[in-house]
Amino acid sequence: MNDEKNLQKSEVIRLKDLSFLQKAYVFEILKGMYTAISQIFKPKFTIQYPEVKIEHAASFRGRPVLVEENGTERCVACGLCSRVCPALAIEVQAGSTELAKERYPEKFEINMTRCIFCGFCEEVCPEEAIIMSSEYELAFSSQAESIFGKDKLLKSAEEMKPRLEFLRKNR
């Protein structure tokens, strides 16, 4: 009984009301070819990458950068980012400064061969000092080049404004 039902189910399901022209197949092929040919004249989706680049939305997670404000970094070298980093890419060494915030990072290095662009550092940062930029072209020719120090990481707050606004709105 059960087997019979299964057998009936596995029968090939075909539309019964196909007209003769549809069964003759040739005209259906011509219809398919018309669809294929009509695609030729439609706009293309390809972006000619090295010449044309996409403007990324503020939510895009590119390489992490340090925000620079009034000539110094916002970072107070608390080390939370380095703690939370799942890939152990961030190394922070704190030093003391005469400014009101008292602490600053003497050394701040991100090993870009280890970074996985997860954005945890940005999420955990109490000062909004480390944020994800929209840069994605990161090719190095040596290991030493892949370690980004403060010279490469610091970006001014005006430059990172879209991302900062995005974070304020969505966090």
Residues near other proteins, by CB under 8 A: 26, 29, 32-33, 35-37, 39-40, 42-46, 48
Q: Closer to other proteins at the Cβ: 33 or 88? A: 33
Q: Which residues of 35-74 are buried (b: 16+ CB within 10 A; e: fewer)?
A: eeeeeeeeeeeeeeeeeeeeeeebebbebbbbbbeeeebb
Strand segments, DSSP code E, in the chain are 64-69, 72-73, 90-96, 103-111, 130-132, 147-148, 154-156
Q: Closer to other proteins at the Cβ: 31 or 83? A: 31
DSSP H helices, 71-156, are 80-84, 120-124, 150-153
CB of 33 to other proteins, least distance (A): 5
CB of 60 to other proteins, least distance (A): 24
CB of 8 to other proteins, least distance (A): 20
Q: Closer to other proteins at the Cβ: 50 or 71? A: 50
CB of 49 to other proteins, least distance (A): 11
Q: Closer to other proteins at the Cβ: 43 or 71? A: 43
Which residue has 């994800």 as its token pair? 132
